[in-house]
Structure 1
Amino acid sequence: MRAVTVNPGVRDSLRLVDDYPEPHAEEGAILVEALAVGICGTDHEIVEGTFGEAPPGASALVLGHESLGRVLEDPSGTLHPGDLVVGIVRHPDPVPCANCAVGEWDMCRNGEYTEHGIKGLPGFARDRWRVQPRFAVGLDPALAPVGMLLEPTSVVAKAWDHIERIGARAEWQPQTALVTGAGPIGLLAALLATQRGFAVHVLDRAETGPKPDLVRALGATYHTGSVGQLDLVPDVVVECTGAPSVVLDAMCKAGPTGIVCLTGVSSGGRTLDFDAGALNRELVLENNVVFGSVNANRRHWDLAAAALARADQSWLNALITRRVPVAAYAEAYTPTGDDIKVVLDFTA
């Protein structure tokens, strides 16, 4: 069968293998036919050789962590042949740490977790894959064109879950949310904010293209420029760029008892001259919280599935700016400046 692989740490090792072995039964009871995988920045980093880890004893890693497939067989009875399914990316560490032991593998304390298509587990960019029942998320059939968006949606579902948990520390009646960055994570964060009834503002560099229209279609307000120029005091800021200057501005922008969730991952290596004392004073005196959020556990995947089912399907479809057949895999993994979400199509 076909599989898209890399040799982690080796730049330009991306290739399509035509005779990759069938998934071993040890991977899981549920056998799945791949429909599509989404491609994100993590995939690009792995292809560039800066990230990624092959399974034990292997030199190659199958890519793909934003999965979508159709069940071929499930002897466990969890799902049924023909059902749409997505595979949860992260598996708990084998120790396990206190969090992994109770299913909170997104909060792993020792870093020994594994992740499909990223760290120690083969990914979903292959014609067939297997998954354990507890890591299989069934989807509404109506989500067939966009189900690969479940993984990035799970990331922001976790972010909002934790925002709400932190907000419950006091009487909290938030009204305004600012999202910095209008990539897939930012747009999905804005979607979940509108579903919660916030007045939503999205800041991005793009002045043209699909992003402004996608934001406005949510009933949100689109901005360009800098965070500091915005004439608003948000109760919640979801930072999705990882750009150091934007991160710092986001921390300073939140209003009293405000919450800033950082989801963008910075590359490092850049220093900024800023007044750390003034930032500290503001965070302390206004009872603000800044926290980081990454990955998701089963609860968040289920929340994400419900959020996608409630969303406007035409809006979700518009997030996918390119659908590329597997035969043109190299094109799919070559970023362009106009992409929001690129999908590798296993049915074409």
Structure 2
Amino acid sequence: MRAVTVTPGVPGSLRLTRDHPEPPTEEGGILVEALAVGICGTDHEIIEGHYGEAPPGGDTLVLGHEALGRVIEDPSGTLQRGDLVAGIVRHPDPVPCANCAVGEWDMCRNGQYTEHGIKALPGFARDRWRLQPKFAVGLDPVLAPVGMLLEPASVVAKAWDHIERIGGRAEWQPQLVLVTGAGPIGLLAALLAVQRGLAVHVLDRNTTGPKPDLVRALGATYHTGTVGELDFEPDIVVECTGAPVVVLDAMCKAGPAGVVCLTGVSSGGRSIDFDAGALNRELVLENNVVFGSVNANRRHWDLAAEALARADQDWLGSLITRRVPVEAYPEAYAHQPDDIKVVLDFTL
């Protein structure tokens, strides 16, 4: 069986293993044939040796957490043979903490959670994998070409869930949304905003390539330049770049009673001369909220599946800029300038 693997902590250890063991039944009763795996920045960080943890007792990690597969067998009857399925990435910690105990493993309090293809669980970049029923998300057949987008969509679904919960602290009728960054997370955040009937603005540094047209195809407005140059105050900001200057500008830009959700992860190690006192004054006097959001629990995966099924499928397909056969795996992990979402395709 083929599997794309790394040795965590060892840069340059990316390889295609052709005799990888079949997935043991301990991983779950649902046996799945891999169709595709999406690639994101986390994968690149693991390949560079910055992150990643092999399963206990080994030194090899199978990559891949943005999964799409087709059910081979499911003795539990949860899914049928031939059904499309995605695997929930994070599993609860074994203690469990209070959050993991009630299925909110995305809010794990002690950090002992595990994650497929990232932390102590084998990923989905292999010909076959297994799932427990509670971590298997069935997909509408219409999503066969784009179902690997479910994992990033689940992250966005959680962000919107929490934005709306926070906004509900008072009478709240948001109209304007600013999304910073037009990568997969930013574009999916814009999609879910449009589905909510909001006026959406997306800011990105790219002036060419597919991103401006993808934003406009949603009925949203595309901007370049800086956050500070925008001539409106959004009710909601979804920050998806992780760029420190953009993060700080986004926090300052929200209007009164605004909500700023940070989904981009900054690399750190950079200092910026910034008036923290002025930001504090603005947040307090305008009752603004800034919060971070990452990962997702089962509820968010289900919400994401519904959102993707409602979306324009041609538009979703346009987010996938390259499909690379498994045998050409190095090409999939080599970034190209116009990449949005690159997919490692097990069917080619």
The TM-score range, normalised by the shorter chain, is: over 0.9
- Cα distance, 1:338 vs. partner? 1.1
- Identify the residue that residue 336 of structure 1 maps to in structure 2: 336
- Cα distance, 1:318 vs. partner? 0.2
In structure 1, the gaps of 5 or more residues are none
Distance, in Å, in 2 between the alignment partners of 1:336 and 1:119 is 27
Distance, in Å, in 2 between the alignment partners of 1:214 and 1:191 is 10
Distance, in Å, in 1 between the alignment partners of 2:29 and 2:304 is 24
Distance, in Å, in 1 between the alignment partners of 2:157 and 2:9 is 31
- Identify the residue that residue 226 of structure 1 maps to in structure 2: 226
Runs of 4+ residues over 4 Å off in structure 1: none
- Cα distance, 1:301 vs. partner? 0.1
Distance, in Å, in 1 between the alignment partners of 2:3 and 2:58 is 15
Distance, in Å, in 2 between the alignment partners of 1:231 and 1:307 is 30
- Identify the residue that residue 295 of structure 1 maps to in structure 2: 295
Structural mapping, 1:257-336, within 5 Å: 257-336=257-336
Distance, in Å, in 1 between the alignment partners of 2:277 and 2:70 is 54
Q: Report how many residues are paired.
A: 348
- Cα distance, 1:337 vs. partner? 1.5
Amino acid at match of 2:19: D
Structural mapping, 1:28-177, within 5 Å: 28-177=28-177
Distance, in Å, in 2 between the alignment partners of 1:43 and 1:201 is 29
Amino acid at match of 2:309: A
2:291 is paired with a residue of what secondary structure? strand
Amino acid at match of 1:211: K
Amino acid at match of 2:36: A
- Identify the residue that residue 202 of structure 1 maps to in structure 2: 202
1:133-158, Cα deviation, whole Å (9 max, x unpaired): 00000000010000000000000000
Identical-residue share of aligned pairs (%): 84
1:207 is paired with a residue of what secondary structure? coil
2:309 is paired with a residue of what secondary structure? helix
Amino acid at match of 1:122: P
Amino acid at match of 1:231: D
Computed over aligned residues only, the root mean square deviation of the Cα atoms, in angstroms, reads 0.3
- Cα distance, 1:205 vs. partner? 0.3
Distance, in Å, in 2 between the alignment partners of 1:207 and 1:195 is 25
- Identify the residue that residue 236 of structure 1 maps to in structure 2: 236
- Cα distance, 1:336 vs. partner? 1.3
- Identify the residue that residue 182 of structure 2 maps to in structure 1: 182
Amino acid at match of 2:224: T
Distance, in Å, in 2 between the alignment partners of 1:335 and 1:38 is 13
Distance, in Å, in 2 between the alignment partners of 1:175 and 1:197 is 8
1:316-343, Cα deviation, whole Å (9 max, x unpaired): 0000000000000011011112100000
Distance, in Å, in 1 between the alignment partners of 2:145 and 2:73 is 21
Distance, in Å, in 2 between the alignment partners of 1:313 and 1:232 is 31
Relative to the length of structure 2, the TM-score reads 1.00
1:321 is paired with a residue of what secondary structure? strand
